[in-house]
Every structure is written in C-alpha cells, then in structure tokens.
Structure 1
Amino acid sequence: MTAAATKDRMEIRVLRSEKELVTLAAELEGIKVSRFVWDYAIKRARKIVARAQRITTTEEGYRQILDALENPPEPNTELKNAMSQYLSNKAK
C-alpha cells in the first residue's frame, strides 16, 4: 500500500443467523470475517462491472461490424466538418 492510499470504513446490518454463518465460514477458512466478506464482495463486483462493460451482439450484428471495419463508408459532410473542428480545437 502506498503512502497516499487511504482506507475507508463500511458498516452493514445483518441478521444474527447470517452473521453467525459468515463467521463460521471465515473461521473454517482461517481468515477474519472482514477479509472473508470483502474478498467475496470484490470478486463479485469485478464480475458485475466486467459484464456491464462487455459489448454483446448477434451473429448478424457481428458481421455488420466486421464489414463496416473492412469497408468503411466514405466520410460525409458532417463528419468532415466535425473532424475539421476537432483538429482546429486541438491545434489551439
């Protein structure tokens, strides 16, 4: 952990029976309850974020994407104007 890293605190309310179950599971794994809960939460969060950021399409959509990449259309006037504006703003 770097010197600039900070730690925040999180608190949750749970049913006693659920806390006992998680506590037992953590003991069986030989780790603290907070580490047990946090490890699972981080793994689950990474999966959820990765799934949300993944782009999915149909087979036909995939073919259309590949075709557009291999055979891009000629730039229209609006695209040319946007590119000119971008380049002039970037040069400033």
Structure 2
Amino acid sequence: MATGSARQARIGARVPAEVYETLCRAAELSGATVNQFLVQSALEKAQAVIEREEVIRLSPRDWSWLLELMENPPEPNARLKAAARRYKKAMQDDAGTSFDWTP
C-alpha cells in the first residue's frame, strides 16, 4: 500500500571499468548523474520494448484497408462458418466441464 511519499526500489549492477567510464562520460555530457542517466536510459528502452510488443502500427494504406473491412465485412465463407460451428461446440463442451460445487 502506497503512503504519501512515492515508493522506491533499488537497482544495482556491476559493470567493467570501461563500461562505467563510458556511462560516466555520457551522463556528464547530458548534464545528469550516472544514476539519473542510467534510470532515464533504461526507462526509455523499457518503454520502447513495451510499445513494440503492445502497439500495432499500420501504414495509411493498410489502415484504410482494415477500416474498410471493418465497416463492410465480406460474407462469411464455408471455412469461417465451419470455424464458428467448431467454436460454438467447444464453448458448449467447456461449459459442462467447469467446476460447479455447491455445499
């Protein structure tokens, strides 16, 4: 449970001297402490990784194509109808296997 102040956690890492020197130089050039530089850099990278995994990007052409399909979907073909039947059957079969305990 959070209190009035923000909760914080500690992160530590051991790195070779050359890596540390590079990080120190970069931090100094950006006007930050090494810790500030590391946290900001790691946060930017983490946000990029999360965005890459969670966001779908479409070209304007692909977006138009998708929007058109959503607004005017094609009639379902035989394979889609068969898949829908299989799905309904699976959902009915699963409904009977749920744990239903009453005292």
Aligned to 2:85: 84
TM-score norm. by structure 2 comes to 0.55
Please report how far the alpha carbon of residue 74 of structure 1 lies from its aligned counterpart in structure 2 after TM superposition.
0.8
Please report how far the alpha carbon of residue 78 of structure 1 lies from its aligned counterpart in structure 2 after TM superposition.
0.7
The alignment of Structure 1 onto Structure 2 pairs a total of residues equal to: 83
Report Cα offsets for 1:28-64 as digits up to 9, x if no partner.
Answer: 867x84x863553243122123034322222221111
**Cα RMSD after superposing both structures:** 3.3
Aligned to 1:75: 76
| Structure 1 residue identity aligned to 2:15 | R
Greater Cα radius of gyration, structure 1 or 2: 2
1:1-92 correspondence runs (5 A): 12-14=14-16, 16-20=17-21, 22=23, 25=27, 33=35, 37-38=38-39, 40-92=41-93
Aligned to 2:97: none
Report Cα offsets for 1:52-84 as digits up to 9, x if no partner.
Answer: 432222222111111100000111111111111
Gapped runs of 5+ residues in structure 1?
A: 2-8
SS of 2:64's partner is helix
Identical columns (%): 25
TM-score norm. by structure 1 comes to 0.60
SS of 1:46's partner is helix
